Structure 1
Amino acid sequence: RATDLHFASPVNAAAMMAASRRLNLNCYHFYMAFDGENAFLGSSPERLWRRRDKALRTEALAGTVANHPDDKQAQQLGEWLMADDKNQRENMLVVEDICQRLQADTQTLDVLPPQVLRLRKVQHLRRCIWTSLNKADDVICLHQLQPTAAVAGLPRDLARQFIARHEPFTREWYAGSAGYLSLQQSEFCVSLRSAKISGNVVRLYAGAGIVRGSDPEQEWQEIDNKA
């Protein structure tokens, strides 16, 4: 979903990024300024991959419930998330897709037990996936992991065609990837929980995964929580 907010004067993108860094912990923060009035920025909870030589770590971050400022209530919500069939299936769809796409270019794939990642407004199911690449090549990582099943759907080609026909806005940088690379190491995140600054207009991006068993009202509330 894209939501446009109009302000009386140009928005200070750097100040917005600084505020997001203070508020959104346990996230990857990215900021791209194209000129004095145009920028793309965000605070994403989702690692696309991290590589150290041939050692590769990625993850499936899918399945969401609200957070709560009270630790006990937040824990109860997290326990519900761990036990919920729909959210577990949503997460495992992403796990299976990642493993299938990486298997030809890696050694044994280790899928770690699920965890709950607690953020400021939501909590996510996360399964970390560890492996070793046959060769240290970030082109392989990018080609196989981007776009993720969580943002592009499955089966990927048909889902992307459906999105192109029916989604009422252009994603541009949203749901892409942001990070760094070098010969020895690299790390990228999925560019989620993001905003595009265009002068006095801020476009907020957020989304939710739809699978069998999804409730439209709950999915819309999830997007509200993320935005």
Structure 2
Amino acid sequence: MLYFRLPFSESIFTVNEISDQKSVSFVSFDQCEIIGFKGTVEKTNFNQDIFSGWISTEFLEFKTENQEDYHHKLEKVIEFIKENQLSKLVISRRKSLEFENGQLNFTQSFLNLCESYPNAFVYFFIKDGKSWIGAFSELLGRFNKKTSAFETMSLAGTIPVNETWTDKEIEEQKPVTEFIKNILKNFSEDVEQSETYDHISGNIKHLRNDFKAKINAKDLEKLISELHPTPAVCGIPKDFCKNAIKNFELHPRNFYAGYIKVETDESIQYFVNLRCAEIFRNAALIYVGGGITAESSPEKEWRETELKSEAILKNLSFETSSNFKP
């Protein structure tokens, strides 16, 4: 099953699974795994309570990377960044939450996320023993089938909404913008770029630039493959940073920092899968990360990931009764 809501929409959608057309796909960070939903995208009333007890898979190892371990890892990351003169390397961690005496109410959690993040793509799915829930507003790409117009954005730098930008966040966002602009120029002769502005997402904000260009439909998938993963979730140079991530992160990212493809008759949209959690029958794994630079403070980066985890944690809803049946 799959339910989702598009940014700034009040409608909830599902896939009716009555055709062979693949309408929605979840692509993992390393692009080695794809979970697809075939059928036509259609609106739904979504009037059924769905619980984590419906999931067959249990999470058995409740070990979370603590602050001391995270600090120690980031000290090595910062040293690596300096040695290799990298502008940025994105490092993630996982935070576990055990469902001690209850079950996660997917329905209410999903609705909570919709209310908290009106500008986000919000979703949850259960399929083949796997389940994820998330809400994030970074657009990897949007293609209009009628006009061939393509839109994307550069989104990076994170601070609480009431704080002021520092050089660290400004310098972190610049290479993301340059990376996207340079790739778009290979696919279009006319690339429009907006000014940098604040992008509010709940209790935090990011720096953002918008891009518009006209491209050939046959180039769309190649363009997306070159954009992913952007420096906002990986680093620059891309392949070098992807290998570094494997060395520093002890866990697989799975669908975290991958992307979600949604195709309808009018458009194809690709959303970056951040602010998300992997849900098990008895627990949740919340995935969070941050862009590390030579000027990063491990203490500040820890606080930033804690802040990001609240995007999911504060919206999860639980039922204490154990008498749920699918």
Q: 1:136 Cα deviation (Å)? A: 5.3
1:25 pairs with 2:118: yes
- Corresponding residue SS for 1:209: strand
Q: 1:102 Cα deviation (Å)? A: 2.4
8 Å Cα contact 2:262/2:270 also seen in 1: yes
Distance 1:135 1:178 in 2: 18
Change (3 A) 1:225 1:111: same
Unpaired segments ≥5 residues, structure 1: 68-73
- Corresponding residue SS for 1:206: strand
- Corresponding residue SS for 1:62: strand
8 Å Cα contact 1:43/1:194 also seen in 2: yes
Distance 1:33 1:66 in 2: 32
- Corresponding residue SS for 1:151: coil
1:202 pairs with 2:295: no
- Corresponding residue SS for 1:15: helix
1:125 pairs with 2:207: yes
For residues 56-205 of structure 1, the aligned pairs below 5 Å read 56-67=150-161, 74=162, 77=163, 80-81=164-165, 84-135=166-217, 137-182=219-264, 184-205=266-287
Query: Superposition RMSD on alpha carbons, in Å?
Result: 1.8
Aligned to 1:5: 97
Q: If each structure's helix is expressed as a fraction of its own residues, which one has the higher value?
A: 1
8 Å Cα contact 1:38/1:199 also seen in 2: no
Aligned to 2:51: none
TM-score, structure 2 normalization: 0.62
Distance 2:155 2:218 in 1: 24
8 Å Cα contact 1:49/1:56 also seen in 2: yes
1:34 pairs with 2:127: yes
Identity of aligned residues (%): 28
Query: What whole-Å deviation, never above 9, does each CA across 1:58-98 have from its counterpart, x for those lacking one?
Result: 0010011102xxxxxx3xx2xx22xx322121111101111
8 Å Cα contact 1:30/1:178 also seen in 2: no
Q: 1:151 Cα deviation (Å)? A: 0.9
Change (3 A) 1:220 1:33: same
Aligned to 1:45: 137
Distance 1:207 1:48 in 2: 18
Distance 1:223 1:45 in 2: 17
8 Å Cα contact 2:121/2:137 also seen in 1: yes
Distance 2:303 2:296 in 1: 12
TM-score, structure 1 normalization: 0.87
8 Å Cα contact 2:187/2:219 also seen in 1: no
8 Å Cα contact 2:195/2:209 also seen in 1: yes
- For these two proteins, the number of residue pairs brought into alignment is 214
8 Å Cα contact 2:130/2:280 also seen in 1: yes
- Corresponding residue SS for 2:233: helix
Distance 2:223 2:108 in 1: 33
